[in-house]
Amino acid sequence: MLSRTAENLFWLSRYVERAENMSRLLEMGYRMALMPAAGDGNRSEWRSVLSAAGCAEGFDSDNTELSQATVSDYLIFNRDNPSSIINCFEYARANARAMRTAITQEMWEALNGALMELRKTSMRNLAKTDLPGFIDWVKSQGALFRGATDSTILRNDGYDFIRLGTFLERADNTARLLDVKYYVLLPETSMVGDGVDNYQWTTVLRAASSMRAFHWVYRDDYSPWRIAHFLILNPFSPRSLAHCMENVTNHLERLARQYGQRHAVHSMAVDTYSILTQGDMDDIFSNGLHEFISDCLQRYQALSSAIAETYYHGGR
Amino acid sequence: MFNEMEMNGKVRDPYRALVDWMDVTGPETLAQKRLEAETLFRKIGITFAVYGEGGDPERLIPFDLIPRIFTASEWRRLERGVKQRARALNTFLYDVYHNAEIIRAGVVPADLVYKNAAFEPAVIGIDPPRRVYSHIVGVDVVRVGPDEFYVLEDNCRTPSGVSYMLENREIMMRMFPELFSKLRIEPVDSYPDQLLKTLKSIAPAKCEGDPNIVVLTPGAMNSAYYEHSFLADQMGVELVEGQDLFVSEGRVYMRTTRGPERVDVIYRRIDDDFIDPLCFRPDSVLGVPGLMNVYRSGGVAICSAPGAGVADDKAIYTYVPDMIRFYLGQEPILNNVPTWKCARPDDLKYVLEHLPELVVKEVHGSGGYGMLVGPASTKEECDTYAERIKANPSDFIAQPTLSLSACPTFVESGIAPRHVDFRPFCLVGDDIRLTPGGLTRVALRDGSLVVNSSQGGGVKDTWIMAE
């Protein structure tokens, strides 16, 4: 497969996953903001969403007042925000268009259709109460694309690059979702374990579309410890770091088998995965959840670069 | 004016079933179908960008639902005529880069060839596989009467539009399945297979085993990008850009996730000027440095061969009937449009005196740019154009304004006749192949004769009826 094609496929699926995650972060902010909070009129929730999205600096430089409408607009429609949902779909489609031959008609139509819809929408015609509906729509577009991919594309190396993009991005996203808790709690650590705190933790679960799944695994024990375990170490949770890294490792292994060649990136992935298979929640919490997450994010970054180094510069 | 659908107030035979069907279906349903078709085009992303106009870089070409139909016998004649032309043009190309017999025999003037911007000294003496220079010949044909066809021009480099032939059919079959089950229409979907066969058949001397084929595109910003990706996809070969290829030790390679992979045949959709910055334009970032050296040494086949453009020049066009007689010893099956060459003093005088009746074209122009349509121009426009002709007479040719046939077409006011032309695609490799179909282009404005998609023309599906 052409190096450029592999790189495009990888980023294409990352952007689709990222768009979906932006909508999950928004959902989280929206739900948290529905809770009564002390003093600042829910603004810390929206700030935490921006921080977790890695968009706080960009938002601040616009000197916009912090509110649900402004943050939503920034995360959904802002053309200057490289991670905005509309930009994610624009990039994904541009990547798809640059290698139409490597994706199927169904995948193209899913992407192209989503962007055509999105271009017709703006914050102004998205009524306040429509935000949850819009969030659902974005998630369904992601599902549509992944479904089209799963049911139509050849199971060759192209498939592996697509899945690598999806799972690296998803791992990154779940880590960031968890981090929202860190940012939102920071000013008010005294609240750990009280009603608001638990509500916020369950909101994290909800944003990861994992409420029901969690219930099946742990019944109604919504303790932070359990929730963090579900999203970090539980291999059965589809959005957990463990599950994502299991997939990243598998798809890299598949590439090694197909190409008959192993590289440094393969052992890097195995190392990162083993931290999760051998991990322990007590250790993670006592060493600091935020520190653990920061370390994971750095590792994902490094893995992404190593994949590029190994496969995207083919030849010379 | 000849109407494709009617003659002497009666529906012509090939259109009978279509007309009956349209009567039953009714205008509302057709209008509805038309909207559906447009949505489909947009959704699939079948687009065509127009340079230099700004606006939407992914514009849709207007698609008309009413097909243009040829009978089997009409098609047989067209087919023979186009193949004959493609054969003569390729013989000509081989000849001018080798012994130039046609020039020595005084049939084609030397200046027209050697001073032609598309003549490529770098390929003199090269023997491309099977001696073929132009592997895909797009011949533009117009009709002025029941049995009168004229060739308007030949496209020997990279004629585009074949994706519309295929996609138009795809959309028509999706919209009107009942018509296809009722009528016997020749299928066009073998084109990508035949193209692949043709490309395989021109593998270079040094290629061992199954040749590795790629389509080389300038990239997603190119107006015909959709077609490039469509063809690569349909053939199951890589779509590459210049940056994906490199030359090493006399062969061409592409960068892949497994490392370098050798390339044997390049179907290039970029112009000669850009394919190798070491040989042609040094500022080109689209091409592959060193490609021409590999080509010259038989390490790679390039389709179409560099230098093939010398045969599709509008001045050379006037000599194609002579080529057919010279090389093949046959009479041309399809006629040329009578043409005045402004380079000849007598012709120039005639052209300047009759501008309001003529169509004048730039010899090196393409896509309907820079032409003068006399009957549709003001006196002022004619005068300005006359000055341009006088300044460089040899840059212009002129033809009578042909009364192109018209085909019923969906327009704002309903269904009305609009002028059409036709481009079939001829493949030349180990064999000469012609897919039963082609691209019918239609001038959407009332009375307009300009069908080019870059000038706001539309397209139609073309049906060849089975015997």
Taking only the tens place, the pLDDT of each residue in A141-166 is: 999 999 999 999 999 999 999 999 99
User: Cα(B8)–Cα(A172) distance, rounded to whole angstroms?
Assistant: 73
pLDDT of residue A190: 47
Please report, for residues A16, A25, A151, the alpha-carbon distance to residue B234 in angstroms, rounded to integers and kept in the order given. 26, 40, 20
Residue B8 in this model has a pLDDT that exceeds 90: no
Residue A89 in this model has a pLDDT that exceeds 50: yes
Mean pLDDT of A205-231: 85
Percent of chain A with pLDDT over 70: 91
Report the Cα–Cα distance between both ends of chain B, in Å, rounded: 28
Which residues contact residue B418 at a Cβ distance below 8 angstroms, ignoring those fewer than 6 apart?
Answer: B406, B407, B408, B409, B411, B442, B443, B444, B446, B448
The beta-carbon neighbor of A314 closest among B219, B230, B255 is B255
Tell which residue, B274, B256, B268, B266, has the closest CA to residue B207: B266
Residue length of chain A: 316
Mean pLDDT of A158-181: 92
Q: Do A108 and B238 touch (CB under 8 A)?
A: no
Give the nearest chain A residue to B215 (CA atoms). A101
Confidence of residue B47 (pLDDT cuts 50, 70, 90): low
pLDDT in tens, B235-282: 999 999 999 999 999 999 999 999 899 999 999 999 888 888 888 777
Q: Do B258 and A261 touch (CB under 8 A)?
A: yes
Residue B465, helix vs strand vs coil: strand
The beta-carbon neighbor of B260 closest among A105, A157, A315 is A315
User: Cα(B194)–Cα(B201) distance, rounded to whole angstroms?
Assistant: 10
User: Cα(A286)–Cα(B243) distance, rounded to whole angstroms?
Assistant: 51
List chain B residues with CB under 8 Å of A313. 255
Q: Do B243 and A4 touch (CB under 8 A)?
A: yes
Residue A98 in this model has a pLDDT that exceeds 90: no
Please report, for residues A155, A253, A255, A264, A291, the alpha-carbon distance to residue A258 in angstroms, rounded to integers and kept in the order given. 11, 9, 5, 16, 37
Which residues contact residue A150 at a Cβ distance below 8 angstroms, ignoring those fewer than 6 apart?
Answer: none
Residue B118, helix vs strand vs coil: coil
Q: Do A315 and B255 touch (CB under 8 A)?
A: yes
Residue A76 in this model has a pLDDT that exceeds 80: yes
Question: Sheet containing B245-248: which strands, arranged edge to edge?
Answer: B245-248, B251-256, B259-263
List chain B residues with CB under 8 Å of A3. 244, 255-257
Q: Of A177-186, B18-27, B126-135, B178-187, where does mean pLDDT reach its minimum?
A: A177-186
Residue A130 in this model has a pLDDT that exceeds 90: no
Look over chain B and give the mean of its residue pLDDT values, rounded to a whole number: 90
Structure tokens at B316: 């050379």
- Give burial (CB, 10 Å; 0-12/13-18/19+) of B112: buried
Look over chain A and give the mean of its residue pLDDT values, rounded to a whole number: 88
User: Cα(B329)–Cα(B312) distance, rounded to whole angstroms?
Assistant: 21
Q: Do B260 and A2 touch (CB under 8 A)?
A: no
Confidence of residue A36 (pLDDT cuts 50, 70, 90): low
Confidence of residue B451 (pLDDT cuts 50, 70, 90): confident
Long-range contacts formed by A57-65: CB under 8 A, 24+ apart = none
Q: Do B257 and A157 touch (CB under 8 A)?
A: yes
Residue B319 in this model has a pLDDT that exceeds 50: yes
Percent of chain A with pLDDT over 90: 57
Residue B333 in this model has a pLDDT that exceeds 80: yes
Q: Are A165 and A14 in contact (CB under 8 A)?
A: yes
Q: Tell me which of B51 and A181 has the higher pLDDT.
A: A181
User: Cα(A196)–Cα(A141) distance, rounded to whole angstroms?
Assistant: 32
Confidence of residue B226 (pLDDT cuts 50, 70, 90): confident
The beta-carbon neighbor of A112 closest among B43, B225, B230 is B43
Q: Tell me which of A44 and B454 has the higher pLDDT.
A: A44
pLDDT of residue B57: 58
Q: Tell me which of B390 and B451 has the higher pLDDT.
A: B390
Confidence of residue A67 (pLDDT cuts 50, 70, 90): confident
Residue A311 in this model has a pLDDT that exceeds 90: yes
Structure tokens at A139: 């998630």
Contact with chain B for residue A116, Cβ under 8 A: yes
pLDDT in tens, A237-266: 999 999 999 999 999 999 999 999 999 999
Confidence of residue A37 (pLDDT cuts 50, 70, 90): low
User: Cα(A56)–Cα(A232) distance, rounded to whole angstroms?
Assistant: 24
- Give burial (CB, 10 Å; 0-12/13-18/19+) of B298: middle
Report the Cα–Cα distance between both ends of chain A, in Å, rounded: 15
Our CA dihedral for B442, B447, B452, B457, rounded to 10 degrees, sits at: -50
List chain B residues with CB under 8 Å of A5. 238
- Give burial (CB, 10 Å; 0-12/13-18/19+) of B231: buried
Residue B78 in this model has a pLDDT that exceeds 80: yes
Q: Are B69 and B465 in contact (CB under 8 A)?
A: yes
Give the nearest chain B residue to A257 (CA atoms). B258
pLDDT of residue A216: 87
pLDDT in tens, B279-293: 877 777 788 999 999
The beta-carbon neighbor of A100 closest among B233, B244, B248 is B233
Residue B125 in this model has a pLDDT that exceeds 70: yes
Confidence of residue B52 (pLDDT cuts 50, 70, 90): very low
Mean pLDDT of B406-412: 89
Confidence of residue B142 (pLDDT cuts 50, 70, 90): very high
The beta-carbon neighbor of A112 closest among B45, B219, B238 is B45
pLDDT of residue A215: 86
Structure tokens at B136: 């895909």
Please report, for residues A5, B197, B253, B302, B443, the alpha-carbon distance to residue B212 in angstroms, rounded to integers and kept in the order given. 17, 12, 10, 12, 40
Q: Are B154 and B310 in contact (CB under 8 A)?
A: no
Q: Tell me which of B106 and A198 has the higher pLDDT.
A: B106
pLDDT of residue A184: 61
Count other Cβ atoms within 10 Å, centred on residue B2.
16
Please report, for residues B74, B226, B265, the alpha-carbon distance to residue B219 in angstroms, rounded to integers and kept in the order given. 38, 10, 19
User: Cα(B167)–Cα(B230) distance, rounded to whole angstroms?
Assistant: 10
Residue B410, helix vs strand vs coil: strand
pLDDT of residue B273: 84
